[in-house]
Amino acid sequence: MSRRTDGRDRPMTDSPTGYAIETDRLTKSFGEVAVLRGLDLRVPAGRIFALLGPNGAGKTTLINILSTLLPPDGGRARVGGFDVVGDRERVKSVISLTGQYAAVDEILTGRENLIMLCRLSGLDRQQATTRTAQLLEQFDLVDAAAKRAGSYSGGMRRRLDLALGLIAIPSVIFLDEPTTGLDTRSRQALWQVIGSLTELGATVFLTTQYLEEADQLADRIAVINDGVLVAEGSAHELKNRVGTDVLELRDADDRVITELGTDGTADGLQRLLAGLTEEQRRLRVSVRRPSLDDVFLHLTGQPTDQETAA
Ligand SMILES: Nc1ncnc2c1ncn2[C@@H]1O[C@H](COP(=O)(O)OP(=O)(O)OP(=O)(O)O)[C@@H](O)[C@H]1O
């Protein structure tokens, strides 16, 4: 990989195979617990890729292996064309793992944080000023630039953290649950920023517990369960795999009381409606396409955290 450090060049994300990330029968256990059990994954370069899976499926373990923080037990993994074990230093030079490599200094302002890390990354004063201005603009931090980072809200802090991780424009950006704990508005602001990262040529690999996040952001989505890949595709492709539409019955307060699978044809609906109880027939009826929540349930046999909470 070659890259200028003045922040204007686009990184070369492609490995010889065209994938930014490739794993081949990857395994990892903690004691008796086999977390990854032969995981095969291909992540195309320059795209946003979301990894979904139930709690404990091994998502963080996979990110830790791909970002060289944890060695795998078996199999292979390549990031930016480099082997995570044999070429560890080169992998580290092409990735950004926000929240780990870039520490926000609370005493400094947002601008000072960025300038400092730019200088530590080898940019001269003029380059550091230019790159800082670009990042403040890109991450919607211009108004907050002169305020101490310690006074930032959760969303602003997350954006500053992300900006600090992108000073050198990495090839592959790992985001482990980037918007967990943020309110809806901050989450949407961060989605805009994440959505723009591929414009720089980077590949974004994110895990999320919000299926809406994957639906909105990701070009490709992989679902892992029990340490193996159970599905991979665009949101549209995954929804089609569920195979059925969903008939919803709602009460007067618009709460969903019952969901029933249907082929969506007039005949199918007629059969379904004929089988409703007296009580169900008083409810409001609508038909929708499957959501990613339905996909998740279909593939893993478990509802999402959000659905469980609801
Ligand atoms: N260092 C460790 N030592 C022992 N067990 C571990 C370690 N790290 C993770 N595990 C176990 O490995 C399994 C997978 O954990 P991991 O954090 O990768 O899952 P996850 O998919 O990221 O889950 P979540 O969505 O809850 O964050 C869990 O059962 C976890 O308890």
The model's pTM:
0.78
Which residue pairs from 251-256 have beta carbons closer than 8 angstroms and sit at least 24 positions apart in sequence? 251/283, 251/284, 252/284, 254/284
**Banded model confidence at residue 309, pLDDT cuts 50, 70, 90:** low
Does 22 score more than 90 pLDDT? yes
pLDDT at residue 10 in the model: 39
Quote the ligand 1 centre to 180 CA distance (angstroms). 17
What does the pLDDT look like over 261-301, one tens digit per residue? 888 888 988 998 998 999 889 999 988 888 877 778 777 77
For 230-254, what is the mean pLDDT? Answer: 85
Quote the ligand 1 centre to 126 CA distance (angstroms). 44
Does 32 score more than 50 pLDDT? yes
Mutate to test the pocket of ligand 1, among 28, 51, 60 (most ligand atoms within 8 A of CB): 60
Q: Does residue 53 have its Cβ closer than 6 Å to ligand 1?
A: yes
**Banded model confidence at residue 47, pLDDT cuts 50, 70, 90:** very high
Q: Does residue 60 have its Cβ closer than 6 Å to ligand 1?
A: yes
Q: Where are the domains of the chain?
A: 19-234, 239-309
Atom 4 of ligand 1 has which residue's CA nearest to it? 30
Closest-CA residue to 124 (of 263, 281, 278, 7): 7
Quote the ligand 1 centre to 62 CA distance (angstroms). 10
**Banded model confidence at residue 15, pLDDT cuts 50, 70, 90:** low
Q: Does residue 33 have its Cβ closer than 6 Å to ligand 1?
A: yes
Query: Which atom of ligand 1 sits closest to the CA of residue 58?
Result: 18
pLDDT at residue 16 in the model: 61
**Higher pLDDT among residues 130 and 245, named by residue:** 130
Percent of the chain residues past pLDDT 70, beyond the cut: 90
Alpha carbon distance 278, 78 (integer Å): 59
What does the pLDDT look like over 95-127, one tens digit per residue? 877 654 456 888 999 999 999 988 887 889 999
CB atoms within 10 A of CB 181: 10
Does 221 score more than 90 pLDDT? yes
pLDDT at residue 304 in the model: 61
Instruction: Identify the sign of the CA torsion 67, 70, 71, 76.
Output: negative
Instruction: Catalogue the E-assigned strands of the chain.
Output: 19-30, 33-44, 48-52, 74-79, 82-83, 95-97, 172-176, 203-207, 220-225, 228-233, 245-250, 256-262, 284-288
Query: Both ends of the chain: CA-CA distance in Å?
Result: 46
Atom 28 of ligand 1 has which residue's CA nearest to it? 56
DSSP lists the bridge partners of residue 175 as: 206
Alpha carbon distance 50, 223 (integer Å): 9
Look at the domain 19-234 and name its fold. Answer: Rossmann fold (3.40.50)
Chain mean position to CA 172: 12
pLDDT at residue 67 in the model: 92
Cα dist. 254→248, 271, 277 in Å? 10, 24, 19
Does 198 score more than 90 pLDDT? no
Mutate to test the pocket of ligand 1, among 29, 35, 230 (most ligand atoms within 8 A of CB): 35
Predicted complex ipTM: 0.95
Considering 120-129, 215-224, 237-246, the range whose residues carry the highest mean pLDDT is 215-224
Token pair, residue 193, equals 């920023």
Q: Does residue 35 have its Cβ closer than 6 Å to ligand 1?
A: yes
Closest-CA residue to 67 (of 81, 56, 79): 79
Alpha carbon distance 39, 61 (integer Å): 12
**Higher pLDDT among residues 125 and 138, named by residue:** 125
225: helix, strand or coil: strand
Mutate to test the pocket of ligand 1, among 61, 174, 207, 300 (most ligand atoms within 8 A of CB): 61
Does 179 score more than 50 pLDDT? yes
